[in-house]
């Protein structure tokens, strides 16, 4: 029985590659509106976990539910995206020759949930939605510049904006602040905190200053399972966590 507030529920997931268990009986529950950080040393299974959630990798054992009823292990990657799970990889895949505005416009027009033409003109509601997203990702001043001219951090925000145009309920973010300046990192934390509540976020991250600024619950993965869970201070003081990080 899954608590009604849980948006993502992984139960006893095992994923093996040639006999090696990348995930080993992993169980995890994310509440609706939660901002969860996933940390852990290289090889802990963080990427594999994200791959299971998005349908890229099928678990050998265990179950994965989105909300109360959607069995992720039975859906294809496009079906999972369609159901409301958006994933951002490290490398942005924006259209560099197009402006930030046009990138968001394209993201909106290629939303699989709505059939619309790429050449259809935008109505006022569409323009308002794009403008609202540009403000949220702090690109309203740079809306008309070719995206290729934006800073690394701004490109990352633009890609987050493109994801948001498709209105995901759950956002999966893989090292979103890698390569960002300290200022961009802190602004990204503010963005994520503002998205939490209306969205659920799962953030894989190594930057502890960023994780601290996000302020949510932290899950430590190690050897494919959950080693510790709690607020950052609690997991950082956990003896098993200290041993894993020092023993690397």
DSSP 18-74: TTEEEEEEEEEEEETT-EEEEE--TTSSHHHHHHHHTTSS--SEEEEEETTTEEGGG
Cβ 59 to ligand ADP shortest distance, Å:
13
The residue count for binding ligand ADP (CB under 6 A) is 10
59 binds ligand ADP (CB under 6 A): no
- CA 204 to chain CA mean position, Å: 8
Binding segment for ligand ADP (CB under 6 A), chosen from 45-53, 66-74, 143-151, 162-170, is 45-53
56: which 2 tokens? 């890229």
Contact 142, 154 (CB under 8 A): yes
DSSP 65-107: EETTTEEGGGS-HHHHHHHTEEEE-SS----TTSBHHHHHHHH
26 binds ligand ADP (CB under 6 A): no
Separation of alpha carbons 18 and 10, rounded Å? 22
42 binds ligand ADP (CB under 6 A): yes
53 binds ligand ADP (CB under 6 A): no
Binding segment for ligand ADP (CB under 6 A), chosen from 5-13, 35-43, 62-70, 151-159, is 35-43
Partners of 86 in beta bridges: 171
43 binds ligand ADP (CB under 6 A): yes
Nearer to ligand ADP, 44 or 171 (CB): 44
47 binds ligand ADP (CB under 6 A): yes
194 binds ligand ADP (CB under 6 A): no
Residues that bind ligand ADP (CB under 6 A): 17, 22, 40, 42-48
């Amino acid at each position: 029985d899954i608590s009604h507030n849980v948006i993502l529920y992984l139960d006893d997931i095992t994923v093996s590659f040639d006999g090696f268990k990348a995930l080993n009986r992993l169980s995890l529950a994310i509440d609706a509106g939660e901002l969860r950080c996933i940390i852990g040393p290289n090889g802990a299974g963080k990427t594999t976990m994200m791959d299971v959630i998005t349908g890229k990798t099928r678990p050998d054992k265990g179950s994965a539910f989105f909300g109360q009823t959607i069995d992720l292990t039975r859906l294809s990657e496009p079906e999972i995206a369609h159901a409301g799970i958006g994933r951002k990889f490290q490398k942005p895949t924006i259209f560099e020759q197009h402006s930030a505005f046009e990138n968001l416009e394209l993201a909106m027009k290629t939303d699989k949930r709505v059939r619309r033409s790429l050449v259809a003109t935008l109505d006022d509601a569409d323009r308002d939605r794009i403008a609202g997203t540009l403000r949220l990702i702090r690109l309203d001043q740079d809306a008309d510049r070719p995206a290729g001219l934006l800073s690394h951090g701004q490109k990352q925000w633009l890609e987050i904006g493109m994801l948001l145009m498709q209105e995901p309920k759950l956002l999966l973010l893989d090292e979103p602040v890698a390569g960002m300046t300290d200022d961009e990192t802190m602004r990204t934390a503010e963005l994520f905190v503002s998205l939490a509540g209306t969205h659920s976020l799962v953030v894989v991250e190594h930057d502890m200053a960023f994780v601290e600024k996000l302020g949510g619950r932290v899950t430590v993965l190690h050897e494919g399972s959950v080693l510790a869970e709690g607020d950052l201070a609690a997991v950082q003081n956990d003896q098993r966590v200290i041993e894993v990080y020092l023993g690397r």
